[in-house]
Amino acid sequence: MKNIYIIGAGAIGKPLAVFLQRHQRKVVLVRVSEAVPASMQRLAVLSGNGDLIEEDIAIRALKDISRFDGPVLVATKSYGNFALADALSHKVEDSPVVLMQNGLGVEEAFLRDVPGNLYRCILFVTSDYGDNGRVIFRTVMPSQIGVVRGSRRVLEEVVDAINTPLFPFASTEDIRTVVWSKAIANCVFNSICPVLDIDNGIFHRSEEALGIAKSVIAECVAVAELEGVRISVEDMTSRILQISRVSDGQLISTLQDIRNKKPTEIDTLNFAVARAAAAHGAGEAVPVTKALGELTKLKSMLNG
């Protein structure tokens, strides 16, 4: 694997590039929406242990890359997936693609337009921008990668290529359960926190907020079971509380997007759960989840 390409220079793409470069991987950070000249840029990330890590990273524009010759890690927002998959369709060839995105069904565009090995990665990290614009990054546990389409052997090669102590990865044989578990947590944090305009710590600080979260969890777990994925309500509630404590004071990405007048990923979260419920004839079974999604979408529109 000659190069590792990271598409998206945000709160995930930047630390991933810096940490891989620090561990002697050859990294190219790819910008999608900008016509930038090929260059080297010094990026800095503050790690969870307080160390400031700086590396010179190669920057390229997607339009200037005719063919990828190594793993392609997609760290953009999922609302742009159809346009991105179309742009990648003739550039990927044999290179494996790893989607590092939240939500349900984010792989659909890539299954349709991008050939070859396709993997989903569920991130277990917190990453945010400090007052000086520097990324503050912390790992909660190794992020999980599983097969959507393609070779298990290639998956293990990709994991070996991108795994570092600062940003660890591990393979999983049950990516669907991991995807649904993370999506349920995101349905809680990415709708309730923006609607309340409050940080992630609200659920361990407020019984009332936790009560709303429990309603969302119960609805989403029921839909996951219809999809053949079994998840415990109790385990999800414990996980929400753990995340809330660890990320107390931090703002969820959807609330940051709303404040920055950017599109949100709510369509692949609350609305995706509602669509899955409707597909099973249970569209009325997720009233709280759907209503919170509608309120989040409305808040985004009003702030746009």
- The tokens describing 117, both together, are 């090995």
pLDDT at 128: 81
pLDDT at 93: 87
pTM of the predicted protein model: 0.92
Sign of CA dihedral 134, 240, 75, 166: positive
Same fold, 4-173 and 177-303: no
Encode pLDDT of 187-226 as tens digits.
Answer: 999 999 999 999 999 999 999 999 999 999 999 999 999 9
pLDDT band at 183, cuts 50/70/90? very high
pLDDT at 1: 54
What ranges do the domains of the chain cover?
A: 4-173, 177-303
Mean of per-residue pLDDT scores for the chain: 95
pLDDT at 166: 93
Cα–Cα distance measured from residue 175 to residue 5, given in angstroms and rounded to the nearest whole number: 22
Encode pLDDT of 127-179 as tens digits.
Answer: 888 777 788 898 989 999 999 999 999 999 999 999 999 999 999 999 999 99
pLDDT at 15: 96
What are the backbone dihedrals phi and psi of residue 162, each rounded to the nearest 5 degrees, phi first? -105, -5
pLDDT at 140: 85
Average pLDDT over residues 57-67: 95
Q: How far is CA 265 from CA 17, 44, 78, 190, 268, in A?
A: 23, 26, 6, 9, 6
Report which residue type is found at 189.
Answer: F
- The tokens describing 185, both together, are 């947590």
- Give the SS3 label for residue 20: helix
From the candidate CATH numbers 1.10.10.10, 3.30.420.40, 3.40.50.720, 2.40.50.100, the one assigned to the domain spanning 4-173: 3.40.50.720
pLDDT at 134: 85
Degrees, nearest 5: CA angle 205-211-214: 115
Average pLDDT over residues 219-238: 98
Q: Between the CA atoms of 271, 274, 275 and 278, what dihedral angle is there, to the nearest 10 degrees?
A: -160
Q: How far is CA 232 from the centre of its chain?
A: 22
Reference 126, options 5, 8, 45; nearest CA is: 45
Q: Between the CA atoms of 204, 214, 128 and 292, what dihedral angle is there, to the nearest 10 degrees?
A: -130
In Å, the largest CA–CA distance within the chain is 53
Q: Check if the beta carbon of residue 155 is closer than 8 Å to that of residue 165.
A: no
Average pLDDT over residues 115-125: 95
- Give the SS3 label for residue 46: strand
> Crossing angle of helices 287-303/207-226, nearest 10°?
110
Find residue 41's DSSP bridge partners: 57
Give the containing element (helix H, strand E) for 210. Answer: helix 207-226
The answer to whether residue 39 scores a pLDDT higher than 70 is: yes
Cα–Cα distance measured from residue 167 to residue 165, given in angstroms and rounded to the nearest whole number: 6
Tell me the percentage of the chain whose pLDDT exceeds 90: 88
From the candidate CATH numbers 3.30.1330.40, 1.10.3720.10, 1.25.40.10, 1.10.1040.10, the one assigned to the domain spanning 177-303: 1.10.1040.10
